[in-house]
Structure formats: structure tokens, C-alpha cells
Structure 1
Amino acid sequence: MPRRVALVCLGNICRSPMADVVLEHQLAEAGVDDVEVSSSGTGDWHVGQPMDERAAATLTAAGYDASRHRARTFTADWFDEQDLILVMDSSNQADVLALAASDDHRTKVRMYRSFDPEADSPDAEVPDPWYGGPEGFDEVLAMVERTTREIVRHLADTA
């Protein structure tokens, strides 16, 4: 049975889909084939929309395929479908935990950057690049790539 990892941000058009694409790519490169990756947002206003054009352009320029994403919303039933839920910031964490019905659900939730070797805290956040320029998306991609390498190691070690 595959393990399932969900990535969660606010609107599911920038941070979590970028992390989704990079995680799928790095898992394939590492030969880890028993992990399914998905992403969602805590808000529902972008449901069905593709990834933010700036996020997609940043991924495409780095050699990733950003074309398949469609935004979805995190709902309480995701807890039963996922083994690990990685949230991008404390607001996303609070929104996800508010839907948790049990301690089992709550233990599945971690901050995404808790895997980041450069994070100064396990509670460090992935900044939302939505309101900034292209450099914010480049910063998020660099953060996602290095953090994802550690997530892939963790998943390979716990197989």
C-alpha cells in the first residue's frame, strides 16, 4: 500500500503545488515509488484553477513540469487518506489542525520546513510569494528543493 504525503498552503496555487511537483520529481529520481503526493489549500477560492503563472514559470525554468496541477481544498477527510501532512505556515497549520478529529490526525501534521536543514526552527515557515515579485518564487523554489531532498531521505529511510 502506498504511503501518502499531502502538502498544504493557503490557496493551493503557489507554495504547496510547487512542493508537490518537486517532491514527485525527486521521489522518482531517488527511485522511491511507494509514495503518492498531493496538495491542497485551506481556502477554496482557487478550486479547479491551475498553478499561479509565476509559480509555474519558476518551476518550468528549473526543468519541472508544472502543467498538471489543479487547485483543491483541504477537508477533514484528508486525514484518513494521508500518512503525512506538511503545512507551509502557522496559519495553514492552525486551519488544518482545527479540522482534526483525533490525536492520530494531529500527529500527521508537521511544518514543511521542519525538514529544512537551513531552518532556524522546526516551526519555520515557507513565505507566501503571492504578493511579491519573481524573486519570491525563486526563493521559495530554492527552499522547497533543499527541504524536499530531506523529505525524500526521510521517506526512503522509513520505507
Structure 2
Amino acid sequence: MKELIVVCTGNTCRSPMGAAILQRHIEDLGKQEEYRVESGGLSAEKGEPAAQNAILAMKEIGIDISEHQAQNVKAQQLEDAEKIYVMTTSHRDFLINALPKIEDKIKVIGVSDPFGQDIDAYRYCRDYMISYFDGEQL
């Protein structure tokens, strides 16, 4: 099974939302037997729940991320992954600096962090990632 990883900073907003959206996209394509999706942070507080507004924004489209618990992405996960989706060029640069051999696997989504903002910022982030992953060829 090919592993896809969605990475952000704290693994409480963008990456759990993105992973759930990507998982739905994979299911819509009928490829759930081929791919597994995980998420992680570069500096996550292990066990933290998803941000409340992230949970609410995802619930609006019928996806439940309320059980999510933050975790840091591990080097072995990144090395084993088929593709790594990061939110910003800063995330990409950080990962390439730490693990240069994974550079070709990294794709930058390009969405800013909604952390601490109102529900509309989370909706924008969600909708942006839906558009991004809808165009993703697997």
C-alpha cells in the first residue's frame, strides 16, 4: 500500500483537514486499497486534538476529524512515503534540509495557517485543499 503524508506545523488544523480531504478523494476515485493517508506536524504537541474550528469546518462537509490526535511526522514515514504534501514552502525547505533525498516526493499545497482565526478562515483553508486535491492525479 502506498503511503501519502500531509504535513503542517502543529498537526491540529491544516494537515488533519488535508488528510481527511485526501482520503475522501481517494475513496471517490475507488483507490482506497492502493493508498493510505496519514498526517503529521513538524512541531506538534503529541495528543493535542484538532482545532475546534477545523472540526466544525470539516463537519460541514460530512467529515469527522473529532478523534484526531496530533503527532509529529517521523523521518522513516517521510522516507517511505509515495508523496508528501506540505502546506508552505517553509515546510518544504525544512524537510529538504533535514532529509534531502525526499525532495522529489514533496508537493506544496500553498495554504496559510488558520490557527486562532474564525471559522471562515478554516472554511477557506478547507475549500482550498478540496480544490487542490480534486486536481491531484494519483
TM-score normalized by structure 2? 0.92
Query: In the alignment, what sits opposite 1:27?
Result: 26
Letter in 2 for 1:35: Y
Identical aligned residues as a percent: 23
1:38-57 paired onto structure 2 within 5 Å: 38-44=38-44, 46-57=45-56
- Indicate the larger mover: 84-93 or 70-79: 70-79
Query: In the alignment, what sits opposite 1:122?
Result: none
Query: In the alignment, what sits opposite 2:113?
Result: 128
* Contact 1:54 1:134 survives alignment (8 Å): yes
Instruction: Tell me the SS of whatever aligns to 1:48.
Output: coil
Query: In the alignment, what sits opposite 1:137?
Result: 122
Aligned residues: 137
Letter in 1 for 2:48: Q
Distance in 1, Cα, partners of 2:134 & 2:106: 19
1:62-141 paired onto structure 2 within 5 Å: 62-102=61-101, 105-112=102-109, 125-141=110-126
TM-score normalized by structure 1? 0.80
Cα RMSD after superposing both structures: 1.3
* 1:45-74 C-alpha deviation (Å, 9 max, x unpaired): x21122111101110122112133211112
Instruction: Tell me the SS of whatever aligns to 1:5.
Output: strand
Unaligned residue ranges in structure 2 (runs of 5+): none
Letter in 2 for 1:85: I
Unaligned residue ranges in structure 1 (runs of 5+): 113-124
Distance in 1, Cα, partners of 2:65 & 2:73: 20
Instruction: Tell me the SS of whatever aligns to 1:7.
Output: strand
Q: CA deviation at 1:131?
A: 3.2
Distance in 1, Cα, partners of 2:119 & 2:66: 19
Distance in 1, Cα, partners of 2:30 & 2:4: 16
Query: In the alignment, what sits opposite 1:61?
Result: 60
Distance in 2, Cα, partners of 1:25 & 1:50: 21
* Contact 1:75 1:99 survives alignment (8 Å): no
Query: In the alignment, what sits opposite 2:7?
Result: 8
